[in-house]
Structure 1
Amino acid sequence: MVKASGAPPTPRILQQTLRLVAIIPLCMGVIGCAGLPKGVLAPIPATIPGASQVNLLVATTRAPASDPAVLFSGERGQGLRTTEITVSIPPEENRQAGQVQWPKRLPPDPSTEFATTKVRSLSDLGQIRGWLNQHLPRSRRVLIFVHGFNNRYEEAVYRFAQIVHDSHADVAPILFTWPSRANVLDYAYDRESTNYSRTQLEEVLRRAAQDPSVDDVTIMAHSMGSWLVTEALRQMAIRDGRVAPKIRNVILAAPDLDIDVFRRQSQELGPSRPKLTLFLSQDDQALGVSRLIGGEVDRLGQINPAAEPYRSELEKAGVTVLDLTALKSGDPLNHGKFAESPEVVRLLGERLVAGQTISQSKTSVSGQLEAVAEGAAQTVGSAASLFSLR
């Protein structure tokens, strides 16, 4: 029944509206692009001694930008475009692990700031295979990262470079970046852009898994990127009857996934689906907004994994969970803890990307994560709010 235009709003509608109005300015101030320079992908001619070089393969469904220092916009492009990008990261004594040191002005100062030192368009499969052969480590592992909502192309590049550097992951790093307008008010556009990009991500995953030089593919997704990853894997499973066997591990960090939809997606991946690890935080305010927009259905990245029915469901599915609720971060929205905590990032590189589950690791987790465990009384299992329900 349609309400009369003059009818007063219900208490429920008022509550939802007030919550949304209260948190949008916070979102815009914290995860918006204000203050970050644009055009950081113009390569500088050289870097400095002691700086680290992270070379990435970047595949995108974005449309090219008119500014070559930006490379790609937030609009949707045609097909898949691939670029090799090298990012210089300042010497360890000049930076804090877990943070991206954005340039204060351009050109950047590579002694204290991230800088781009190489950009090369790869126009055919031969060049892409050449990059993979050059950068594939002895482990023969590939890590494919998919960013989340509200990310510019260059933000995704620099964040993934930081994760690769700080985790010391022994992998060939590949970034898949989809068309995000990088505006908190464009949530619906971004969500549709993930659907627009499913087939291209499946193509990237398939190429990596079918390359004879690759032994293992790990996928890591953040926030809305988790929807894109699970949809691409589901599409692969439906098309081929299974997920490619080399795709063994999937890590979902702060997944912006409707819990009911995730249940269905995970079932449709089939019985031989990859090992799944979740990074979640019950105080994730960004997912609180997503839950509000999504009809008050729980988001996967914000559940209490020790409460029923989630505990039993995770156990049955063989999911490993890292509950970061008690971990403090510099992000007031508590949505990027997986990348900003040095301990968590090291855990990614030393264990999860290396193919271990948490329960298989015999090395104790560092002090800050142990403190997390002490503050998370509701979480079951071993140290650091980690528990393997496998």
Structure 2
Amino acid sequence: MFVLAALTLLAGCGGHAKGVMAPVALTTPVPGASTVDMLVATTREPSGDPATLFSGERDANTFLTDVAVSIPPETARKSGTVQWPRKLPPDPAKEFAVTRVNELKSLDEAKSWFLQHDVGGNAFVFVHGFNNRYEDSVYRLAQIVHDSEVQATPVLFTWPSRANVFDYNYDKESTNYSRTALEDILKKLSDAPKVKSITILAHSMGTWLTMESLRQMGIRDGNVPSKIENVILASPDIDLDVFAKQFVEMGKKRPKFTIFVSQDDRALALSSFISGDVSRLGAIDPSAEPYRTQLERAGITAIDLTKVKSEDGLHHGKFAESPEIVQLIGTRLATGQTLTDSDISVGTGIAAVVAGTARNVGNVAAVTVSAPVSILENPQPAKKKKVVVGDTLATDMPTPVKIK
């Protein structure tokens, strides 16, 4: 009964116009509207349809696209929301609208794009979660960048999701399929002289993909590139024991980690059920033991959103829907600032608990302190598993950009 109810709720979360990627020609500027320019990298298969661009199927190549999204005036929208078109073409005065799509056919074109859109040498990489179309992730990143006012160049990595609640396992395997491609994108950004810092924001199943890519970097190179300074995991759909191993295997020099959790996250409850009732990282209570001590010793900041109100029936997207939290991401976390109980306040009724204190328990609870990560080492002997990391298979598909 629980699974059926959860799947019904999940299936009802996509009631908006589809095929919104065809650019809208703006004959005259819309007063008060703004534009978010982003670089989109994907391992999805091209759809051959300009209204969708890419499908949910997998491709052995990594494609890069320049996309611009128009955000309607503040009078027409509420922070934390995406104004999906009610019909096509969209009305830029009231709704989100794609205004530019350019296929980038070489890595040099991608480098040129980044230079043209450089914001202080900072890159903001977003990795979406389960049950997302290409357009879903494009619109969500546009909303986050606009509402957070993050001072960085937006980069979206979108992996092959069939956007069907009954394809959970396909989506999960697609994250494994895409981990080397994401690693390559992060390496290219890290190697670029103009890039000074990289912040990664990953959501739901995309947190697994992110952790796997960072873990591969640590295994290949001994550590994660120093330019990857901040990693934010929102509603991480990761087994707790697996996360601990991924975290340690990155090496001794790791980025600063922040996780957003919520004990009323219904999507993670379903994931836990599917996974054999194994607890998910995004559903823990960071103020309870043993999590509190483990997080403190690992230097990981945990922000509890359980009491934050959400219009999302699954309570799975609070990180992007709460205006205060989105602002926190853009103005504090993406800049690497350390949160303390005296300055964490991000809005009325939202406070924090930091480093073992017990005051100001509100809608947000944070736990952080710089300390060794030995607590995350599994004291029990772990079963050895073979991990095979190979190059992406070659294909005869067209290759606008093939990243190796």
Q: Please, what TM-score do these two structures have when normalized by structure 2? A: 0.87
CA drift of 1:22 comes to: 2.5
Match of 1:58 in 2: 40
Q: Which residue of 2 aligns with 1:222?
A: 203
Letter in 2 for 1:62: R
Match 2:249 to one of 259, 264, 268: 268
**1:45 lines up with 2:22 in the alignment:** no
Indicate the residue corresponding to 2:51 in structure 1. Answer: 69
Name the SS for the 2:350 alignment partner: helix
Shift of 1:368: 4.2
Paired residues, what number?
364
Against the structure 1 CA distance between its residues 269 and 83, is the aligned structure 2 distance closer, same or farther, given a 3 Å change threshold? same
User: 1:363 offset after TM fit, Å?
Assistant: 6.7
Higher mean alpha-carbon deviation, 123-132 vs 173-182, is at 123-132
Change beyond 3 A, Cα 1:135–1:261: same
For residue 277 of structure 2, what is the aligned residue in structure 1?
296
Instruction: Write the distance in 1 (CA, Å) between the matches of 2:350 and 2:163.
Output: 31
Q: How far apart, in 2, do the equivalents of 1:197 and 1:220 lie?
A: 16
- CA shift digits 1:243-298 (9 cap, x unpaired): 00111110000000011110111110111111100001010010000000111111
Write the letter of the residue equivalent to 2:4.
V
Q: Is structure 2 residue 295 aligned with structure 1 residue 318? A: no
CA contact (8 A) 2:149 2:331 kept: yes
Shift of 1:359: 2.3
Unmatched tracts of structure 1, length 5 or more: 1-17
* Structure-1 separation of matches of 2:359 and 2:257: 17
- Measure how far apart 1:103 and its partner are: 0.2
- The equivalent residue for 1:80 is 62
Q: Identity of paired residues, percent?
A: 55
Aligned residue in 2 for 1:252: 233
Cα deviation for residue 362 of structure 1 reads 3.9
**Alignment match of 2:119 (pick from 133, 137, 154):** 137
Partner of 1:181: 162
* Structure 1 range deviating more: 308-317 or 332-341: 308-317
Instruction: List, as ranges, runs of 4+ consecutive aligned residues in structure 1 with deviation greater than 3 Å.
Output: 360-364, 378-384
Of the structure 1 ranges 317-326 and 359-368, higher mean CA displacement relative to structure 2 is found in: 359-368
**1:160 maps onto 2:130 in alignment:** no
Q: Letter of the aligned partner of 1:161 in structure 2?
A: A
Q: Does 1:27 align with 2:10?
A: yes
- Distance of 1:38 and 1:364 partners within structure 2: 38
Letter in 2 for 1:204: I
Q: Which residue of 1 aligns with 2:101?
A: 119
Tell me what 2:222 maps to. 241
User: Does the aligned pair in 1 maintain the 2:58–2:160 contact within 8 Å?
Assistant: yes
Q: Distance in 2 between matches of 1:310 and 1:316?
A: 10
Shift of residue 66, structure 1, vs aligned partner:
2.5
Deviation track 1:82-132 (CA, whole Å, cap 9, x = no partner) reads 000000000011100000000000000001000010000111111111111
1:306·1:379 contact (CA, 8 Å) conserved in 2? no
Contact 2:202 2:233 in 1 (8 A): yes
Q: Distance between the aligned counterparts of 1:381 and 1:249, measured in 2? A: 27
Per-residue displacement from partner, 1:177-224 (whole Å, max 9, x unpaired)?
Answer: 000000000000000000000000000000111111111001110000
Distance in 2 separating the partners of 1:210 and 1:247: 11
> Amino acid of the residue matched to residue 105 of structure 2?
S
What is the alpha-carbon distance in structure 1 between the residues aligned to residue 331 and residue 294 of structure 2?
27
**Is the deviation greater in 296-305 or in 351-360?**
351-360
Q: 1:389 aligns with which of 354, 368, 375?
A: 368
Contact 1:243 1:272 in 2 (8 A): yes
Q: Distance in 2 between matches of 1:348 and 1:23?
A: 29
Q: How far off is 1:380 after superposition?
A: 4.7
What SS class does the counterpart of residue 64 from structure 2 fall into? strand
Q: Which has the higher contact order (CA 8 A, sep 6+)?
A: 2
How far apart, in 1, do the equivalents of 2:314 and 2:243 lie? 23
Q: CA offsets per residue over residues 43-91 of structure 1, 9 Å max, x none? A: 1111512110000100000000131110000000121000000000000
- Counterpart of 1:347 in structure 2 is 328
1:275-332 Cα deviation digits (max 9, x unpaired): 1000010100100000001111110000111112111111111000110001110011
Distance 1:300 1:131 in 2: 36
TM-score (norm 1): 0.90
Paired position in structure 2 for 1:36:
16
- Other-structure match for 1:285: 266
- Structure with more of its chain in helix, by fraction: 1
How far the C-alpha of 1:382 sits from its partner, in A, is: 5.2
Q: Any stretches of 5+ residues in structure 2 without a counterpart? A: 370-404
- For 1:75 and 1:382, the matched residues in 2 are separated by 47
- Equivalent AA in structure 2 for residue 352 of structure 1: L
What one-letter code is carried by the residue in structure 1 that aligns with 2:366? F
What is the Cα deviation at residue 366 of structure 1? 1.3
CA offset digits 1:156-188 (Å, max 9, x no partner): 000000000000000000000000000000000
Question: In structure 1, how many angstroms separate the alpha carbons of the residues matched to 2:319 and 2:78?
Answer: 15
Assess, with a 3 A threshold, how the Cα gap between structure 1 residues 311 and 198 changes in structure 2: closer, same or farther: same
